[in-house]
Amino acid sequence: MKRMIEVSEVTKRYGTKAAVSDLSFTVRPGHVTGFLGPNGAGKSTTLRMMLGLHQPTAGSVTINGRPFADRPRGLRHVGALLDAHGVHGGRTARAHLTALAVSNGLPRRRVGEVLDEVGLGDAGHRRIGGYSLGMKQRVGIATALLGDPPVLLFDEPLNGLDPDGVKWVRGLFHRLADEGRTVFVSSHLMSEMENTADHLVVIGKGRLIAAESLKDFAARGTHRSVTVRTPDVAALRTVLVDAGASVTLHADNSLTVTGLSADRVGDLAFQNMVPVHELTPHTATLESAFMELTADSIEYAAGDPR
Amino acid sequence: MTTTATSATESAGRSAEPAEPRAHFTDLIAAEWIKMWSLRSTPWAFVAGTLAIVGFNIFTAYNDYSNWPGWDAQQKADFMPNWAMLDAFTDAAVLCLMLTASAMGALTVVGEYSTGMIRTTFTAVPARSSVMAAKVVVVTAVSTALGLVAAGGSFWSTQALLAGRDTGLSLGDPGVVSAVLASALAAPVAALVGMAVGATVRASAATIGVSFALLLLVPMGISDDHHGTAVVDHLLPYSAWARLIQVAEKPVNFPWSEAGAWTVYAVWYIVCAAITIFAVRRRDQ
């Protein structure tokens, strides 16, 4: 219960269209948990239900054992960045954060502290309308940090950040998780999560696809391959094809083998007395595992016949 | 052993339930006050609205001041008190005040929806109705101040001008305070109409359109010659103002009391405040 986000059997329908169907998962403290899914998978809907902004059609979402909407003030419990553009461009970052801090009875010095923390110490007096997307993301992150909350939610926080910014955000997320907080970060790009999250919740078309550690998720990809080099290409190729593998010959005389493990390729070569100079197993990349698992649940595919 | 492990976990982070002071409604009012005045448009609307309204009234009063010597005795006698009061606050002035105030009220609500700020606001304060109530308090205070400055400034300047013709009203004359107050309080009533429409419609252009229609177009399109339309007409804030600005009651087909007109103001204000506060309860934000 402590600091956990618990989504249980949640369904959300808008009219007749189900944005989220019977979704259940738990987000635990002490980890950066990535929330992945293609565009339109229901990530933002789920985050809004966590924050009590949208009411689930069925099921329940609790944070730290209670529906978030039951709390009169939120910033000390959950910090959230939902949409970097969700600020009034006419206000300065300082005024925006001051109003939020005051509404929750937080000391005004927190405003200066979080502005410094996100690197906007000098820009805080300027109007947000003139900020770049990356700076707006920093304002959103500052907003999330304001109440020093044990649970933090970020919707696509890496959008618009430069490489330095991405590196900084990753470091920040890891630090927050190491402090024992629950950090939940959504993205539609697996590559963004690769060095950010250690746990993953993957959804597609509003349904849960996976909720596990990054390592277990990567192991799910079936397109594993092995690179082999041998002086006797023809012989090895015959042996492997006979064993049921598909083999591709490259210009540098190396072979890419799929359908057999590296161990099996080595054994077969040994049994048939074919010398092997290189044997490299390739585990599927996270990206390919993600693409493979969500292929059936892409909401808006290019060239999709309608 | 178990104890050590537990306390180590506890001190690594903080306790599960963060320490939190009691939630105060005054904090929300303070936050909404900061939000209102941190937008450049607020002081501008305040100053420009006041200047336009006082300007309209001075212009009208100056016309009467200039034409005064050419009027016959009957016209001069008819001028007091109703025409003198309408120089202090003209139809154009009250419409301008209502538009400024309703736009101000509408923007405090739809400004949050059009930018998406509303989600940040309601995430910081999940007690949504309390946020809206705080907005009502701040908008009421600011629009009432705008109304008092505009109506008070207009009355003082126009009657000082008319005094140059040995005519004009003073606050001590019967019915005058009530007429000036009715002009001033048209502002909070209109501001709340803007907020209520904004909280219901949640889109900028539609909100401004619907508010202006309720405040301006409907009263202009309805005649009070027939009983049915007169009843509808008398239920509108603009008509209530037109009744209250009459220092001496004018004879009409279907007369109504000042108390009735004040009630119309009060009911519009209360109903609009309730809509603003409760519209955010059930709907997804």
ipTM score:
0.87
Same-domain pairing of A121 and A208:
yes
CA separation for the pair A37, A20 (Å, rounded): 12
Among all residues of chain B, which has the CA nearest to that of A139? Answer: B120
A30 found inside a domain: yes
Same domain as A242, residue A101: no
Tens-place pLDDT, residues B229-277: 898 889 999 999 999 999 888 888 888 889 999 999 999 999 999 999 9
pLDDT-derived band at B220 (thresholds 50, 70, 90) equals: confident
Q: Which of A192, A213, A234 is the last residue of a domain?
A: A213
CATH number at residue A70: 3.40.50.300
Q: Which two tokens stand for residue B169?
A: 């009203």
- Residues of B at the A interface, defined by Cβ within 8 angstroms: 9, 12-14, 16-21, 23-24, 27-28, 30-32, 34-35, 38-41, 111-112, 115-117, 119-127, 130-131, 282, 284-285
* Confidence class for position B4, pLDDT limits 50, 70, 90: very low
Kindly write down the DSSP assignment for every residue of B205-259, as one continuous string: HHHHHHHHIIIIIHHHH--SSSHHHHHHHHTSHHHHHHHHT-SSPPP-SS---HH
- Report the alpha-carbon distance of residue A6 to residue A270 in Å, rounded: 52
Residue B94 lies in a domain: yes
- Which residues, at least 6 apart from A258, have a Cβ–Cβ distance to it below 8 Å? A223, A224, A225, A226, A245, A246
Q: Is residue A57 part of a domain?
A: yes
Name the residue range of residue A192's domain: 5-213
CB-based contacts of A75: which residues, under 8 Å, 6+ apart?
A: A100, A101, A104, A106, A146, A147, A149, B124
What distance in Å separates the CA atoms of residue A29 and residue A65, rounded to the nearest whole number?
13
N-to-C CA span, chain A: 45
Are A90 and A239 part of one and the same domain?
no
Distance of CA B43 to the CA centre of its chain: 16
The model's pLDDT over B52-96, given as tens digits with 9 standing for 90+, comes to 999 999 999 999 999 999 999 999 988 989 999 999 999 999 999
A145 and A10 inside one domain: yes
pLDDT value of residue B224: 81
Q: Which of A125-129, A282-286, B19-23, B172-176 reaches the highest mean pLDDT? A: A125-129
d(CA B149, CA B143): 10
A24 & A70 share domain: yes
| Nearest Cα to Cα of residue B54 among B129, B158, B142 | B158
Q: Are residues A155 and A252 in the same domain?
A: no
In a domain, A47, yes or no: yes
Res B112 pLDDT > 50: yes
Interface of A with B in 43-102 (CB under 8 A): 48, 51-55, 64, 68-78, 80, 82-83, 85-92, 95-96, 98-100, 102
| Tens digit of pLDDT at every position of chain A (306 positions) | 688 999 999 999 998 899 999 999 999 999 999 999 888 889 999 999 999 999 999 999 999 999 999 999 999 999 999 998 889 999 999 999 999 999 999 999 999 999 999 999 999 999 999 999 999 999 999 999 999 999 999 999 998 899 999 999 999 999 999 999 999 999 988 888 888 899 999 998 899 988 998 878 877 765 678 889 999 989 999 999 998 888 888 888 889 888 888 888 999 999 999 999 998 887 666 777 777 777 776 656 565 544
Integer-rounded Cα Rg, in Å, for chain B is 24
Whether residues A206 and A247 fall in one domain = no
Of A73, A87, A90, the CB nearest to B125: A73
Q: Which residue has the tokens 């959950």?
A: A78
The contacts of residue B98 (CB under 8 Å, 6+ apart) are B186, B187, B189, B190, B215, B216, B237, B238
- Across the interface, whether the CB atoms of A103 and B28 are under 8 A apart is answered yes
Q: Are strands A151-155 and A78-81 parallel, antiparallel or unpaired?
A: parallel
DSSP-derived pairing of the beta strands A254-258 and A246-249: antiparallel
Domain harbouring A247, CATH code: 3.30.70.100
Q: What is the mean pLDDT of residues B153-165?
A: 94
If one compares B47 and B217, the residue with the highest pLDDT of the two is: B47
Same domain? For A128 and A274 the reply is no
| Domain contains A38 | yes
CA dist A12 and A17 (Å) reads: 9
Q: Which residues in chain B have Cβ-Cβ distances shorter than 8 Å to A47? A: none
- Tell me, yes or no, whether A241 and A207 share the same domain: no
Q: What is the pLDDT of residue A306?
A: 45
Within-domain flag for B83? yes
User: Based on the domain organization, do A237 and A111 belong to the same domain?
Assistant: no
- pTM of structure: 0.85
Neighbouring residues of A2: CB distance < 8 A, sequence distance ≥ 6 = A29, A64, A65, B16
A133 plus A277 within the same structural domain: no
Banded pLDDT at B104 (limits 50, 70, 90): very high
Site of tokens 């005024």: A95
Domain co-membership, A151 together with A59:
yes
Quote the CA–CA distance of A69 and A71 in Å, as a whole number: 5
For residue A253, the model assigns a pLDDT of: 85
| Domain count for chain B | 1
- In this predicted structure, what is the pLDDT of residue B137? 98
Peptide bond just before A231 cis, omega within 30 deg: no
- In terms of residues, how long is chain A? 306
Residue of B nearest to A13 (CA): B284
pLDDT band for position B16 (cuts 50, 70, 90): low
Q: Of A213, A248, A263, at which residue does a domain stop?
A: A213
Q: What integer pLDDT is reported at residue A299 of this predicted model? A: 59
Contact between B125 and B131 under an 8 Å Cβ cutoff? The reply is yes
| Number of domains present in the structure of chain A | 2
Residue of A nearest to B40 (CA): A90
Consecutive H or E run containing A183: strand A182-187
Categorize the per-residue pLDDT at B11 as very low, low, confident or very high, splitting at 50, 70 and 90: very low
Q: Which domain holds residue B194?
A: 24-278
Cα-based distances in Å from A83 to A203, A240, B120: 20, 52, 9
What pLDDT is attached to residue A284?
A: 65
> What pLDDT, on the 0 to 100 scale, is given for residue A31?
95
pLDDT band at residue B158 under the 50/70/90 scheme: very high
Work out the widest C-alpha separation in chain A, in whole angstroms: 77
State mean pLDDT over B175-188: 95
A201 within domain boundaries = yes
Judged by CB atoms closer than 8 Å, whether chains meet at B116 and A83 is answered as: yes
The answer as to whether B8 is a domain residue is no
Q: Which of A7, A22, A44 is nearest to A185 (CA)?
A: A44
* Per-chain mean pLDDT for chain B: 90
